[in-house]
Amino acid sequence: MPLGEFELIARYFSCPAKRAALGGGDDCALLAPAPGMQLATSCDMLVEGRHFLSTVAPDRLGHKALAVNLSDLAACGAAPLAFTLALAMPRADEAWLEGFSRGLLALADAHACELVGGDTTQGPLNICISVFGEVPAGQALLRSGARARDDLYVSGTLGDARLALEAFRGTLDLSGETLAKVRVAMELPQPRVALGIALRGVATSAIDVSDGLLGDLAHLLRRSGVGVRLDVDALPRSAQLAAQPLAVQRECTLAGGDDYELLFTAPASRATAVRVAAAAVGVAVSRIGGIEPEPGLRLIDAHGGSVADVWGSFDHFRS
């Protein structure tokens, strides 16, 4: 007997409410953000073939589905509260459900983000999560706050997920050891939630890098009405990526996608506060450029020479 919809929900996706006023099982869940807090919410969908490969292990897929949503809360400086899960799958495969829910709920627990409801239906594999967080009223980090003369920073390293994707596509060859490392970056991104919270009151703007640095940077610049001088050689990259040809390094760091690092700005006078915030949460941050009043992206190399932007950004309806 295949597992029915309600048994499936009860077995894999039912969690007792902790902070939520009412968890799953009713028509709505009830959330109670603390007084003085604003509710932050975001929604991200993962479609097989588009956002993940069929080769990904179900527990890693569960992790990533929530990680990409938590990354949006991180970019706003919001603390996670809860999430809902809308899941379409071709059949109720218990081995898959066990792995998926285990990976999903492990990351949820790590961030005290409760599963409070969802929707379950038969159909092509598709995972849609809505996440809810809280941030002190008026303190959310926005894309629109960058100002001329701010410094531009990025957390962690860029490009490993793209390097892994290219290896899976067969466009480049990696050793088994290198592939295992970059595959972790692609399949198990770590959302920078603690960094986002630590940057409240320090960063002037922020966005998470999901579609490639240049594309996401362009969104931040447009919303802020400013431009940037970006040092392409200052972009932080792993030892694995640094061992690749320069063209591959640039493609992966500038246009990679799936990085889930925070890109943010802060006034030069807050440089120490940025370092302190990053050190407090144990995440590396690198200064990668400077905000300028004239709109546009100006790419320079380590010698100050200009670098042509041949990468463009990712657009789901153009690629």
Q: Which residues bind ligand ADP (CB under 6 A)?
A: 9, 13, 24-27, 85, 87, 115, 117-120
**Least Cβ distance, residue 86 to ligand ADP (angstroms):** 7
Dist CA 262 CA 265 (whole Å): 10
Residue of 132, 107, 125 lying closest to 51 (CA atoms): 125
**Least Cβ distance, residue 222 to ligand ADP (angstroms):** 36
**Neighbour count for residue 130 (Cβ, 10 Å):** 18
Taking CB within 5 to 8 Å according to partner kind, which of Mg ion, ligand ADP, none is near residue 115? ligand ADP
Cα distances from 115 to residues 109, 141, 186, 205, 252, in angstroms, run 10, 25, 24, 29, 34
Residue of 179, 147, 139, 134 lying closest to 161 (CA atoms): 179
| Per-residue binding letters, 25-64, with Mg ion (x by CB under 5 A) | --x-------------------------------------
Residue with smaller CB distance to ligand ADP, 62 or 236: 62
Beta carbons of 236 and 156 less than 8 angstroms apart: yes
Taking CB within 5 to 8 Å according to partner kind, which of Mg ion, ligand ADP, none is near residue 99? none
**Least Cβ distance, residue 316 to ligand ADP (angstroms):** 24
Residue with smaller CB distance to ligand ADP, 22 or 307: 22
| Per-residue binding letters, 79-118, with Mg ion (x by CB under 5 A) | ----------------------------------------
Q: Does 173 bind Mg ion (CB under 5 A)?
A: no
At 70, which amino acid appears? L
**Least Cβ distance, residue 26 to Mg ion (angstroms):** 8
Taking CB within 5 to 8 Å according to partner kind, which of ligand ADP, Mg ion, none is near residue 85? ligand ADP
**Least Cβ distance, residue 109 to ligand ADP (angstroms):** 15
Taking CB within 5 to 8 Å according to partner kind, which of Mg ion, ligand ADP, none is near residue 120? ligand ADP
Residue with smaller CB distance to ligand ADP, 27 or 177: 27
**Least Cβ distance, residue 122 to ligand ADP (angstroms):** 12
Question: What tokens appear for 41 in the block?
Answer: 């919410």
**Least Cβ distance, residue 242 to Mg ion (angstroms):** 52
Cα distances from 294 to residues 108, 154, 170, 222, 298, in angstroms, run 42, 21, 40, 11, 10
At 199, which amino acid appears? L
Taking CB within 5 to 8 Å according to partner kind, which of ligand ADP, Mg ion, none is near residue 140? none
Residue with smaller CB distance to ligand ADP, 83 or 260: 83
Query: Is the torsion defined by CA of 182, 183, 184, 188 positive or negative?
Result: positive
Taking CB within 5 to 8 Å according to partner kind, which of Mg ion, ligand ADP, none is near residue 24? ligand ADP
Taking CB within 5 to 8 Å according to partner kind, which of ligand ADP, Mg ion, none is near residue 31? none
**Least Cβ distance, residue 24 to ligand ADP (angstroms):** 4
At 130, which amino acid appears? S
Residue labelled with tokens 């949503």: 69
Residue with smaller CB distance to Mg ion, 26 or 94: 26
Q: 236 CB contacts (<8 Å, ≥6 apart)?
A: 154, 156, 157, 158, 284, 286, 288
Residues lying near Mg ion in the complex (CB under 5 A): 27
